[in-house]
Amino acid sequence: MTAESTTLTQRNPIPWAAMAGIIATITVFAVAQGLTYPLLSFILERQGTAPGLIGFSAAMTPLGFIVSSPFIPALARRAGGARLAILCSFLTAPTLFAIAWTQDIWAWMPLRFLLGFLANPLYVISETWLISITPPQRRGRIMGLYSSIVSGGFAVGPLSLGLVGTEGWPPFMIGIAAFLLCGLTVLAVVRRLPSMPHEGEVTSVGGFFALSPLLLFAVFTAAAFEQTLLALFAVFGAAFGSAEEHIASLLTCFIAGNAVLQILLGRLAERFGSTRTMLFCVLVCLAGCLLLAPTFNSWLIWPLVFVWGGVSFGIYTMSLIQLGERFTGHALIAGNAAFALAWGLGGIFGSPATGLAMQLIGHHGLPSSLGLLCCVLAVFLMAQRWRA
């Protein structure tokens, strides 16, 4: 550490206790979220559900993100971030219980929507808390650490399916317990949590779209990658004759790449800039799309999905870093809510569109759809750099 960075750290001390509580809260929640997507896809695949309908069912959760996003800034200001986070945490557990009880795709549609509606405020509030208390000179590595730990929580979800299976109540009970533990974690650290930032002009979620459309499209792309893979990778693997346990292991490897590589990507952002690092992540994602099918039945699939997972989620990490670099106060809250809306849009369009592509052209529709999305984002990023 240089003398300059030491001085900056002394001027901006890091509130480690609050930071640990925030990250622990969202990580536990991520465990339940990471388990839910592949679990429900496996159940629907066993029931003989068409890929397009599986993707449409998975899109209900991001639809909940979309609908709830415009209300979050006002609710957080009126009720307080901590109260809203605790309420949402405790309401998600009975929602997942109802999903396990019904075991019907049409009943799952509104329930998965409600799950997304309740989950979204917790992500928005937690990320706003974290960005607001992170010193600027440490933003890259701390946001990378946050993304790594949260991704580790997502990885535990599919990994638990390999341990308890995908049938009956055991996998659902893991998710229900994780949701309840999330609320208890917020209660345990509530006195150390910061208040929501209130400085600056009040900005709506719609107004933030006009402020930074490319940043939100990057979030859209990262969401489409993650949620499409979680929802439809089982269908893609089935085309190669892979067992459910093998696919679950590959998903775990994919999310493990998220967890391991985010700190490294955060350090790269501090050194080379978050925009340049984001472009690097997008180009590597595109390479992964091209190599997925040719390497699926070889040992190369393991390092490929590991790196692919890291750089695809790295797009979101770079977006968070840029959000903290460019916005504060009310605009920061609106930006995080707009991120959640963009994430929901990525999920709601990514999974069904890819599912329909797979019905039309076969399993190659998965990497083709995601590769096309990467190309569009790469062109926009390079155009932005050229104009700058």
Each residue's pLDDT tens digit, 156-176:
777 787 778 778 888 888 888
44 touches 57 (CB < 8 A) = yes
CA dihedral 22, 85, 143, 274 (to 10 degrees): -170
Whether residue 199 is contained in a domain is answered as yes
pLDDT band at 44 (very low <50, low <70, confident <90, very high): confident
Residues ≥6 apart with Cβ < 8 Å to 23: 130, 145, 146, 149, 150
CA nearest neighbour of 312 among 239, 351, 254: 254
231, pLDDT greater than 80: no
Whether residue 4 is contained in a domain is answered as no
Per the prediction, the chain carries an average pLDDT of: 83
8, pLDDT greater than 70: no
Q: Which amino acid is at 69?
A: S
Whether residue 9 is contained in a domain is answered as no
Each residue's pLDDT tens digit, 290-303:
999 899 888 899 99
CA angle centred on 186, ends 182 and 192, rounded to 5°: 150
**Helix (H/G/I), strand (E/B), else coil: 237:** helix
Q: Can you give the pLDDT at residue 264?
A: 92
Could you give the C-alpha distances from 381 to 34, 213, 275, 348, 359, in angstroms and in order? 29, 12, 8, 23, 31
The CATH number for 116's domain is 1.20.1250.20
Domain count, the chain: 1
Each residue's pLDDT tens digit, 322-331:
998 888 777 8
Among the ranges given (154-158, 213-217, 305-309, 340-344), the one the predictor scored with the smallest mean pLDDT: 154-158
pLDDT band at 253 (very low <50, low <70, confident <90, very high): confident
Range of the domain at 74: 16-387
Among the ranges given (1-15, 255-269, 281-295, 353-367), the one the predictor scored with the smallest mean pLDDT: 1-15
**Helix (H/G/I), strand (E/B), else coil: 50:** coil
Whether residue 117 is contained in a domain is answered as yes
Q: Can you give the pLDDT at residue 200?
A: 57
278, pLDDT greater than 50: yes
CA nearest neighbour of 286 among 316, 254, 308: 308
Rg of the chain over Cα atoms, rounded to whole angstroms, equals 20
Question: DSSP character for 48?
Answer: T
267 touches 144 (CB < 8 A) = yes
pLDDT above 90 coverage of the chain, percent: 22
218, pLDDT greater than 90: yes
Residue owning tokens 């979030």: 219
Determine if residue 206 is left, alpha or beta; phi over 0 gives left, psi from -120 to 50 gives alpha, anything else beta: alpha
Whether residue 352 is contained in a domain is answered as yes
Q: Can you give the pLDDT at residue 12?
A: 54
CA angle centred on 232, ends 228 and 237, rounded to 5°: 130
Q: Can you give the pLDDT at residue 302?
A: 94
Whether residue 341 is contained in a domain is answered as yes
115 touches 97 (CB < 8 A) = no
Instruction: Tell which wins on pLDDT, 375 or 63.
Output: 375
Whether residue 42 is contained in a domain is answered as yes
Q: Can you give the pLDDT at residue 199?
A: 63
Whether residue 1 is contained in a domain is answered as no
